[in-house]
Amino acid sequence: MKPGSNGAMPPAPPVPAPPTPTDVDDVAEDALVATDAPPPLELPAVALPPPPPEADPP
């Protein structure tokens, strides 16, 4: 056996291409629909109620 050769090692399998951003979005939406999970809090500032008037600085 020559040095540097991988005698009994099979060739490495091809690495699958990473998913595109659109594929990731589709999978995330499908998972949310399939599991009935609550939507992610992407806009917490909009989801929070406004502060009471007395909490506002003068």
- The pLDDT of 34-48, averaged and rounded, is 58
Over 60: is that where the pLDDT of 38 sits?
Answer: yes
In sequence order, which residues have a C-beta less than 8 Å from that of residue 37 and are 6 or more positions away? Answer: 31
Q: What is the average pLDDT score of the chain?
A: 61
- For residue 42, give the nearest of 52, 28, 56, 55 by alpha carbon: 28
Over 70: is that where the pLDDT of 19 sits?
Answer: no
Over 70: is that where the pLDDT of 56 sits?
Answer: no
Contact of 41 with 47, CB cutoff 8 Å? yes
